[in-house]
Amino acid sequence: MADAEPWKTVKIPPIVQELATGVQEPPSRYVIAEQNRPTAAGSEMPDPIPIIDLSRLSDNCADEVAKLQSALENWGLFLAVGHGMEQSFLGEVMGVARDFFKLPLEEKQKYSNLVNDNEVRIEGYGNDMVVSEKQILDWCDRLYIIVEPENRRIYSLWPTQPPSFRDILSEYTVRCHKIANLFLQNLAKLVDLHKDYFVNMFDENALTYARLNYYPNCPKPDDVFGMKPHTDASVITIVFIDDNVSGLQLQKDGVWYSVPIVPNALLVNVGDVMEVRMCEKLQNCDS
Tell me which of 122 and 36 has the higher pLDDT: 122
| Cis ω for the linkage preceding 26 (within 30 of 0) | no
Domains for the chain: give ranges and CATH numbers.
Answer: 31-286 (2.60.120.330)
pLDDT band at 40, cuts 50/70/90? low
Position 34 confidence tier, pLDDT thresholds 50, 70, 90: confident
- The pLDDT, as a whole number, for residue 65 is 94
pLDDT given for residue 284 in this prediction: 47
At 210 the pLDDT is 98
**What average pLDDT is seen over the chain?**
88
Q: Is the pLDDT of residue 282 over 60?
A: no
pLDDT tens string 69-79: 999 888 889 99
| pLDDT score at 97 | 98
Name the band, by pLDDT with cuts 50, 70 and 90, for residue 286: very low
Query: What are 190-200's pLDDT values in tens digits?
Result: 888 899 998 99
- Confidence (pTM): 0.89
Residue 120 has what pLDDT?
Answer: 84
> pLDDT of 121-172, one tens digit each?
889 999 988 888 888 999 999 999 999 999 999 999 999 999 999 999 999 9
User: What is residue 7's predicted lDDT score, i.e. its pLDDT?
Assistant: 60
